[in-house]
Amino acid sequence: MTQYIRFHSPAGAGYGILEGDTVRAISGDLFGRHSPSGVTHRLSDVRLLCPAIPGKILAVGLNYKSHLGGRPQPPHPEMFYKPVSALQDPEGPIVIPRDATDVHYEGELVVVIGKPVKNATPEEAREAIFGVTCGNDVSDRNWQHGAGKDLQWWRAKGCDTFAPLGPAIVTGLDYGHLLLQTRLNGEVVQKQSTADLVFDCAAIVSWVSGWVTLFPGDVIYTGTPGSTRRLSPGNVVEVEIEGIGVLRNPVV
């Protein structure tokens, strides 16, 4: 298991391998050939950034039975896009946007693609996954399906800061058996295993690749379990996934 992070230090932004409280900077291509640069930092001396710079962000709706409510299980992964401008770093604030009235958290496992993939079988899709990280698919329910519903989810899912991501991309995990927990101000508000995904990581990547070519660094949010609550300024949301770490973001 390896934990890859992207971080900012006095020398600028870069990638590294996290080993305890030590960051070992790497040079080269994160998704290709790379090696330790010889530079190390203390974790406390750097600022964590989103661990990937995706060309695109996709996400899956209705992918845990516990989140379906009375809705039927979809026959295939139901996909939508989030703009890359929605990305937010670990510890960066989730900003409640102008006129938003019902913004919710959605703690999720996020797949990070490691190589180009098109028309992939589930096995080929599994091999194209570089690793996984934590994500929060922040959503305004009013703009999504309330009285103020838009035709598309461009605002509901895509406002600035609505895609927190991190803290690390982790390789070598069993993506299908990880405990996901979301905490709101310290209270556990979501708790479920990724074994309960309706469509697992490989199935999602395979489905998407039938129409949209995925490239290294692209990310897919895989869905949220259970129910969610409205966020308010002053709240703190933490998404913790077994083996990955904690994605923490205050709300302003």
**Going residue by residue through the chain (252 aa), what tens digit of pLDDT does each one get?**
999 999 999 989 999 999 999 999 999 999 999 999 999 999 999 999 999 999 999 999 999 988 777 778 889 999 999 999 999 999 999 999 999 999 999 999 999 999 999 999 999 999 999 999 999 999 999 999 999 999 999 999 999 999 999 999 999 999 999 999 999 999 999 999 999 999 999 999 999 999 999 999 999 999 999 999 999 999 999 999 999 999 999 999
Q: In the numeric block, which tokens belong to residue 6?
A: 């992207």
User: At 156, which amino acid appears?
Assistant: A
Look at domain 1-48 and name its CATH class: mainly beta
Residues 133, 108: Cα–Cα separation, whole Å? 9
pLDDT of the residue at 43: 97
In sequence order, what are the beta bridge partners of 88? 164
**Residue 15: partners with Cβ closer than 8 Å, 6 or more residues away:** 4, 5, 6, 7, 25, 26, 30, 34
pLDDT of the residue at 187: 98
Overall size of the chain counted in residues: 252
pTM confidence score? 0.96
Has domain 50-250 been given CATH number 3.90.850.10?
Answer: yes
User: At 170, which amino acid appears?
Assistant: V
Q: In the numeric block, which tokens belong to residue 213?
A: 């070519």
Main-chain dihedrals φ then ψ at residue 19, nearest 5 degrees: -130, 100
Residues 81, 60: Cα–Cα separation, whole Å? 9
Task: Provide the residue ranges of all domains of the chain, joining segments of one domain with +.
Answer: 1-48, 50-250
Among 203, 202, 167, 173, smallest CA distance to 90 is for: 167
pLDDT of the residue at 148: 93
pLDDT of the residue at 70: 75
Decide: 48 and 166 in contact? Cβ < 8 Å: yes
User: At 12, which amino acid appears?
Assistant: G
Residues 162, 179: Cα–Cα separation, whole Å? 23
pLDDT of the residue at 67: 74
Q: In the numeric block, which tokens belong to residue 10?
A: 């006095």
